[in-house]
Chains A and B, each alone.
Chain A
Amino acid sequence: MVRSKTPYAFIGLAVTLLVWGSVWGLFYAPAETYMGDVQRIMYVHVPTAWNAMLALTFAFFCAVLSLWRSGMAWDNRLEASLEVGVVLSSLLCMQGAIWAKPTWGVWWDWDPRLTTTAVMVFAFGAILALRQFVEDPIKRATWSAVATVIAFADVPIVYFSVRWWNSLHQLQSSPETVSKAFHWPLRINAFGILFLMIGLISLRTRLAALRREEELAPPLPETAPRRAPIAEGASS
């Protein structure tokens, strides 16, 4: 088995971009007219939101493919993207609370965007918990894929909640509604978190594959002779 270094390359590139984008956003981008310096939270909050939704959308496609095709490869990807999606969504809620306090005066409000986001975190978190309780890998793959397809219904609701209902949360920004001075740190951090997400999902998929291998492997006989280790990637 040859293990490529691609996930580490993505993570390295992500760290470089995130440092660059954050330094730009913190020290060189101008303060916003009304929100002042607090608006600098946007450079981490918005990229986290985009990529959390992207990770959970990828989880949805993995769930559909896991139900459609046999084998555990898509279930491994599903587990990885669910976990990364839940971490990013939880981080999104924390960043949002920190931004809410100086702008809205409260850490949390049960407005449509925040409520649907909280539902999203708990729904996908519950699927990860469900996976811990099911021992049979086939049943685990099927049940968590079905649950992911159902839970995914909340993701577009989160996105459109600010348009459908009267929300305290602002509408989605676009290049036309965001000042040009704010574009680059936002874009750099968006790609930084995207590459970090890709690297972490790749690495986490490998971990899931190793665990499946452990689960499905027949028990070794007590007296099995141990083979000499060979270098990784050596041709046979």
Chain B
Amino acid sequence: MNTGVIQGGWEFVWAAYAVSATILTGYGLSVFARYRAALRRRFEAGSTVKP
């Protein structure tokens, strides 16, 4: 019988949290890696500040 109440659905909940965690972590790591690479390039170009 259709009660109008959604049954189950935990797989969608886990999917939403997994996608969020993956994208936010991946993007965070990408920014960090690009920043470190830019610092390294600047050091190799003669900057006195260590990366």
A36→B10 CA distance, assembly (Å):
9
Q: A34-B4, A38-B6, A41-B12 are in contact. Are A203 and B46 (CB under 8 A)?
A: no
Q: A91-B19, A91-B24 are in contact. Are A37 and B46 (CB under 8 A)?
A: no
Pair count A-B, CB < 8 A: 100
Q: Please pick, from B13, B31, B42, the residue contacting A38 in the complex, using a CB distance under 8 A.
A: B13
Contact A213 B42 (CB under 8 A): yes
* Residues A26 and B13 in contact, CB atoms below 8 Å apart: yes
Verify if B2 is at the interface (C-beta below 8 Å from A).
Answer: no
Q: How many residues of B contact A (CB 8 A)?
A: 32
Using Cβ atoms and an 8 Å threshold, which residues of chain B touch A196?
24, 28
Interface of A (DSSP majority class): helix
Interface residues on A, range: 35 or more
The 0/1 profile, CB within 8 Å of B marked 1, for residues 132-160 of chain A is 00000000000000000000000000000
List residues of chain B with CB within 8 A of the CB of A98: 12, 15-16, 19
Q: Which residues of A line the B interface, CB within 8 A?
A: 1, 11, 22, 26, 33-38, 40-41, 44-45, 48, 87, 90-91, 94-95, 98-99, 101-103, 196, 200, 203-204, 206-207, 210-211, 213-214, 217, 220, 224, 226-232
Extra inter-chain contacts (11) besides given A44-B20, A101-B12, A229-B43, CB under 8 Å: A11-B28, A33-B5, A36-B8, A38-B6, A38-B9, A45-B16, A196-B28, A203-B32, A207-B35, A210-B38, A229-B50
Q: Which residues of B contact A (CB under 8 A)?
A: 4-10, 12-13, 15-17, 19-20, 23-24, 27-28, 31-32, 34-35, 38-39, 41-43, 45-46, 48-50
What 5 A-B pairs have minimum CB-CB distances, sorted nearest first? Answer: A38-B9, A210-B38, A41-B16, A207-B35, A98-B16
